[in-house]
Structures are given as C-alpha cells and as structure tokens.
Structure 1
Amino acid sequence: MKLFDELKWRGLVDNVTSPDVEDAINNEQLTFYIGTDPTADSLHIGHYSSLLMAKRLQMHGHHPIMLVGGATGFIGDPKATGERNMLTPEVLQKNYDALHAQISKLWGFDMVNNLDWTKDITIIDFLRDYGKLFNVNYMINKETVKKRLDSGISYTEFSYMILQSLDFYTLYKTRNCTMQIGGQDQWGNITSGLELIRKKCGADVKCYGLTMPLITKADGTKFGKSESGTVWLDPKKTSPYELYQFLFNTEDTKVIEYLKKLTFLTKEEIDALEVSLNEEPHKREAQKALASQVVKDLHGEEGLDSALKITNALFRGSFAELNDAQKLEAVAQMDQIECPCGLMLEDVLIQTHIASSKREAREWIKGNSISINGNKVNDPQMLIAQGNCCVQDYMILRRGKKNYYCVKMKEQEN
C-alpha cells in the first residue's frame, strides 16, 4: 500500500487542493507544516492525529515543520460560536514555552514561531503588501467567516486569514515549504495561503494543501479545549491512567476509527482487532490495544505500566500495591461522595445512598459483598473514621465486583 493510500485508509484525508498531492506525497520529499496557536499550555488529544500525521510523513522521507503561532495566538482563529477571549502577552509566552518543550520532547520536530516574521511589519506595510491582495468577497465566503456574519465578527478575527496566509508564504520563501496540513476547518486558511503564494510568486508555483477530518466523539462533538473534559497530552494535566481509562472506554462504534488515526498499528493488526470487536466485543481487545498504544507512545513503558497497575488494582481491589500518587490518580477518576466520620458501616452505606435501607446494607455486609480499600468487611456496626482512608481523606468502597464508590470522609460538625 502506497503512503497516500494508507492515509486514505486511515481516514486522514478530507480534501486536497490538487490531484497532484497524491503523487507528491508518494514520490517526493516535501517540506510541509502544521500549525497550532498557544491558547493553552498543553496540546490535547484533538491535536494528536495531526501530530501523528506529521510523524507518518516524516517516516517516509518528508520534512515536517511545527509552527506555534506566537503572533496568530494574539488574534485568534475565528470560531463559529463567537469571539475568542484575548490572552495577555505573558500568558501567550508561557503557553508558547510549554508547547515548545512538549513538542520537542515528544516528537523533536523542527519548530518555528510566526511572531518572528510578523512582529516588525507595520500596519501600512501589512495593508499594502498583503491586505491589497485579498478580496473581501472572497474572504467572507470562507466557511468559518460565513457562519459568523449574522452574529458579527471583529476585524481582528476577520484578518486572521491574512496572517495565516502570510505564514505559508514566508515558509515557502524561506524554507521551501510547499504544503500545509490542517484540520478540515482550516480549508479556507490553507487555500488563502496558496492564493497569496501564487499572487506573490507566480501562478505556476507548485504548492499544496491537505485537510484532515476532525476527530470527533460518538455524539459528533470534537475534542478540544472548549469542550468539557479536555484530555491533555501533558501527564501533569491528564495522567497516563486517566488517558488509558478515557481511551479504554471508547465506544465500539468509534474504536476502529481511533485505532487507524491515533496509532501506528498496521492494517493487518487493526483488521484482526476489528474481527475481535465484532465477534467478542465483551473482551474489549480493540479498546485495550488503543489505550495501550497511545499511552505508551506518549508516556513510555513506565507510563503504561503505571496505568495498567492502577487499572488492575481497581479491578481486583488490591489497593495496597499502589503508592499514594497512584491511589490519588485512581480517586481523581471516580465520583466522590462526602460522608462524616464516626458512623457505623451500615449507616455509611445509607448516608452515601449506596444502600436504600439498613436491611439492605446489613444483607450486603454480612454476605461479604462489601469491601473497604480492597478488604472484605462483614460487621455492620464497624465504626468508620479517618483511619479507614486509603489515601488522604478518601476511602474506596466496593459492592460486589464492579460497583466502586469513592467516599470522602469529613469530620462531623459540632
């Protein structure tokens, strides 16, 4: 399978600006770029497919450039929902430094900052040298801008397209960068960049654009910073265990798509996992493979080992084998119920709504269905206090094999 065919099989090609893109990807060694703005101090899972796309191309002889938009971050790419909040220079610099360190550590890509070639352009030069080449009618017909016309869009965000076009033009002139890759929502910015290059350098210039489908959840919403429950690539913001659990809980309808887009597993390996998913979905082999591959690629064998250790400890109820940091990672992923200290176990079950009555609570306790921090308990009148916590103020109750409850103990008020 040729590289472009593999990219299509993986679902990584949404649109291309020329039929020549396929031949260029298969047979040339292109310099291309992917960009992101420093609007947060970490990349998230929504960026991951694009970064792997760059790595896939690099492995076949192409040269990736990662652009972190120190300039465009001041402006903000227009959203369909409304104006972005302006970030201060201090926050943008902090975010830029964090992204630079993260990308360098994980992928080692060649990196550039568009503030370097934008900061010294005067407003007069900007309008004469670049603004004059953009037709307003052309700009307002771009999909993202068009969606904002009724609600309104500031000139600041409207001009974002020109700034990003300037990036492509500058990288073409200075680095012989002939292709830009972005999400499907970047089509308008990419084609505008190509137009600027042709107007500045001639219509016969061979430059290309490729867009990728956005990674979405089963409900159709995309992964991103503006969505709830952001999954970060920084292990301090989303631990390896949290990432593992997030991916392990992928719906059956999405897991094969994610395996294609977020891992380097071969077609044969993914096809075998798809057979397992269809014939024995309860084993969740596809989800295990997805979670293991992504966590290992991002956080190494050590991160994967820790994630699996916490997962297995929760499954078996063997909390004693975890250190305090791992216990806190597990606790962070559980719904927490507050309960005062000094109650009998049967009353704790009622107070936390685990049991609906004392009779039910006693039956469960005496029937060896209740565990505290992995240890079976069978005394309904056992007093529960801070000493029963497994880490900090948290106690893990389990009913049966699958029902876990994280109880946060608090001192009784006088």
Structure 2
Amino acid sequence: MQTKNVYDTLMERGYIEQVTHEDEVRELLEKERVTFYIGFDPTADSLHLGHFIQIMVMMHMQRAGHIPIALVGAGTAKVGDPSGKTDMRKMLTSGQLDENAMALKRQMQQYLTLDGENGILANNADWLDHLNYITFLREVGVKFSVNKMLTAECFKSRLERGLSFLEFNYMIMQAYDFLELNNRHHCKMQFGGNDQWSNIIAGVELCRKIKSEQVYGLTFKLLLTSDGKKMGKTEKGAIWIDSDKTSPYELFQYLRNIEDADVENCLRLLTFLPMDEVKRLAALEGSEINHAKEVLAFEFTKIVHGEAEAQKALDAAKALFAGGGDSENIPTTMVPLSAIEAGLPLLDAMIYIGLIKSKGEGKRLIQQNGVAVNDVTVADFARILTPEDLTDGSLMIRKGKKVYQRITVES
C-alpha cells in the first residue's frame, strides 16, 4: 500500500482536472478505504488507448487500498451519451451490447482485482432495464431542472443540431447509477473523463437530494496531444487494447512514434515509473528523446499485454530501426505465390495489407517519396511486385519513415 496519499499521486502525475470538494476528497482518501466507480459504456468490444487513462487511475487507487467499481454501462448505452458528440450515436442491439459488455469485463479483469471484496464488477442494465417509467419520473426525474440541464456542457454542442429526448435522459440515468451504487455498495466517489463533469455533478446532487448524503466527483484529463487532439487514432482507426484488433507491436510502435512534446505527459499518465525517472527521461533532448519513447512504449505495452509481448515488440522495433533483434513480430500478411508470379501491383498490395485506404492515398505517398520496397524508394505508381522482390519468401514495404509491413508468400 502506498504511503503517499493517492490524491497527491494522481495530482502529481497530472491526472486530475476537476474535483467537487478538494479538501474533503483528499482527507477522505487519507483516512478511509473508499469505494469509487468509473463507467464504461460497451459501444465496442474492446477498450481503446483513451479508455486506459481510466484504467490507470483505477489501478493507482486500488494499489493504494481503495475499492474500484468497474461499471459496464449496458443500460446507459441503450440511450447513448451525447457528451462530446455532434451527432447521435449509432444504436446497437441488446445482443451486441451484451457481447461487448462481456468483452469489456474480461479485459478489465486483466488489470484490476474484481473479486467482490477488493473490487467490484457491475452492469447498470441490472437496474436500468427494469425501471418503472412513471415511478422513475416521480421519484428521480422530479429532482432535475430542465433549465439547468440545458446549460450543461455535455448538451451544448448538440442543441443546435438537434438533441433527441432519448439522449436527454442520459444525464438522469448516469446520476441514478451513482445513487444505486451508493445504495448497494456505499460508493462515495465517481470518477470520469473531463467530458463527464456535468453528468458527475448531477449524480452528486441526486444523492444529496434523495439521501441527504455527501458524495464526491472527480474528473481527469483526456489523453490529448500537445496541440489538443485526442491521442489513440491512426489512419487504420483506433488503437485498441485487444491484441486481435491492435497487435502489441502496433501499440508499441504508436507510442514509440509520438511527438517529442507528448513524451512527458504519456510517461506520467501511461506508466508507473517513479516521477524522478519520468522527469529524467522527459528532459532528454535531440536523438536521445527516442530512448524515452522506447521506454514509454515498452512500459505501457508491458502493462497492457505483459512483459513477454513488450519484449517481442521491442525486439521487432530494434530489428527495423537499430539493425538488430528479432524481426518475426513485424506485422505480416500472407499472399499466394501465384499472385506475385503473375505480377502484383504495389498499390493493390498496400490496400490489401491495410497500409493505405485507396490508390489515391498511395500515389500521394509515392509522389512524396514515402513508399519503399525492401528499403528502395518507389518512384513509379505502376510498380509491380514480382518474385525478384522476394528474399527467403518475403518482402518488406515501408510507408513513411517508420511504418513497416511484411508480405510473405504461400505456395
């Protein structure tokens, strides 16, 4: 158990954005074993890089002796959170939400002890799916002011384009989650990203109005780049925690290739390295900053996928960039030998293996000298891959300076 107050740890590392009652929260975390919750709506079958800030906070809290409730929102996801969205979210079926919820539960159990005593796994569909609408309106809805709700940040971006009555209920449902978890588990705190501030405040106020009980809310920073953009997106889509959707090597490479200005923030938020080491690494300059990126990528990949997978990813990266190590973990796609023998257009191959989305994109890259086959820059849009490009049955395609994919032939 940590000797430092976990609130100070979270503050020092840069997680905390807003808190409802700072002095009371700090004292509470110092004196009590606090039950808190964070919600995850199962809109996909995996957590992504942005979600992992929340997992890191829960891990810090649990290591300090507090009790996390990982709340899977299969109930709230049927309504859809309008926070940060300019359009209504795509509605998933109950079956899809249940499958996604099970996948998220399996993932969170890899990082948190959720044994019912030291940590709790819950699903708000257990209570939201069975509410009586009239009773809910009379007992809970009456506590909310529509005028006040319309001033909430989570609704502002939607009002001009149209906010459905369905989504308008989301804040009330999330607030009810807090009340329900307080009743069931004496949950005293709700955490979330800074886009959840209005919803968290609503839950704090609902507990006060219905139970006259003081509970607390805290938000933490979203994972952003130095220029304010959300991290965790690539041309191929989100950076997922599921290794079948984003391989450990791809996760490693994403962090290995972040901008210099983002290194310190990521070391603070995505690793458990001591702050002295974070500051030392962040202070490196010139080419030495690449060592800090390598440490970041290794440490985070180790947290997500384990040390063995992190080491494989590191070895694969060294094989490409440092001329040594094991390259067997470089993303590889198998194609029929007959396709290479017939002459496979390079642009078709790049689309097939997911390096580009269109031939137009590929042509622009070639114009910018951004494509190479076996480290030879390609100048011809009509470049054909033939058996002469193969060495021991494989060839390497590079996009830009750092993205590699291998093609291996099968007979």
Q: Do Structure 1 and Structure 2 share a fold, with TM-score over 0.5?
A: yes
The CA distance in 1 between the partners of 2:130 and 2:297, in whole Å, is 45
Q: Which residue of 1 aligns with 2:252?
A: 244
C-alpha distance in 1 between matches for 2:141 and 2:363:
63
Q: Which residue identity lines up with residue 74 of structure 1 in the other structure?
A: K
CA distance in structure 1 between the aligned counterparts of 2:15 and 2:181, rounded to whole angstroms: 24
Letter aligned with residue 49 of structure 1: I
Structure 1 residues 16-65: Cα deviation after superposition (integer angstroms, max 9, x where no partner): 11131121123321100011100000000001111110111111111101
Q: Report the alpha carbon displacement of residue 171 of structure 1 after superposing the two structures with TM.
A: 0.4
Aligned partner of 2:264 in structure 1 is: 256
Report the alpha carbon displacement of residue 390 of structure 1 after superposing the two structures with TM.
5.9
> What residue number does 1:60 align with?
64
> Does the C-alpha gap of structure 1 residues 227 and 118 become closer, same or farther in structure 2, counting only changes over 3 Å?
farther
Q: Which of residues 199, 203, 207 in structure 1 aligns to 2:209? A: 199
The corresponding residue for 1:23 is: 27
* Corresponding residue for residue 300 of structure 1: 306
Contact 2:39 2:70 in 1 (8 A): yes
- The 5-angstrom pairing of residues 11-410 of structure 1 reads 11-19=14-22, 20-78=24-82, 79-109=84-114, 110-202=120-212, 205-223=213-231, 229-275=237-283, 277-278=284-285, 280-315=286-321, 322-323=327-328, 326-327=329-330, 329=331, 372=374, 385-386=386-387, 388-389=389-390, 395-396=395-396
List per-residue Cα deviations over 1:146-180 (Å, max 9, x = no partner): 22211110000010001101100000011000000
Matched with 2:349 is none
2:74 and 2:251 mapped to 1: Cα distance? Answer: 28
Aligned equivalents of 1:7, 1:25: Cα separation in 2: 12
Distance 1:67 1:407, change over 3 A: closer
Deviation at residue 82 of structure 1 after TM alignment: 1.4
* Cα distance between partner residues in 2 of 1:199 and 1:389: 71
Please state how far the C-alpha of 1:5 moved relative to its aligned partner. Answer: 2.1
- Name the aligned partner's letter for residue 396 of structure 2: I
Larger Cα Rg: Structure 1 or Structure 2?
1
Do the aligned residues in 2 keep the contact of 1:385 with 1:409 (CA within 8 Å)? no
Letter in 1 for 2:18: N
Q: Could you say if the C-alpha distance between residues 298 and 407 of structure 1 is closer, same or farther in structure 2, counting changes exceeding 3 Å?
A: closer
Equivalenced residue count is: 366
Aligned mates of 1:318, 1:397 — CA distance in 2 = 18
**Secondary structure of 1:34 counterpart:** strand
Structure 1 gaps, min length 5: 333-337, 344-350, 357-369, 375-382
One-letter identity of the residue aligned with 1:385? T
Tell me the secondary structure at the aligned position of residue 108 of structure 1.
coil
Give the CA deviation at 1:342: 5.8
Query: 1:346 aligns to what?
Result: none
Give, in angstroms, the shift of residue 339 of structure 1.
8.5
**Within the alignment, does 1:6 sit opposite 2:9 as a pair?**
yes
Between the aligned residues of both structures, percent identity stands at 39
Please say if residues 75 and 124 of structure 2, whose CA atoms lie closer than 8 Å, have aligned partners that are also in contact: yes
CA distance in 2, matches of 1:226, 1:251: 14
Residues 37 and 190 of structure 2 are in contact (CA less than 8 Å); yes or no, is this contact kept in structure 1?
yes
The alpha carbon displacement at 1:105 in A equals 2.4
RMSD across aligned C-alpha pairs, in angstroms?
3.4
Distance in 1, matches of 2:35 and 2:85, equals 31
Kept in 2, the 8 Å contact 1:31–1:62? The answer is yes
**Superposition deviation, residue 195 in structure 1:** 1.0
Please name the residue that 1:367 is paired with: none
Residue identity in the other structure for 1:9: E
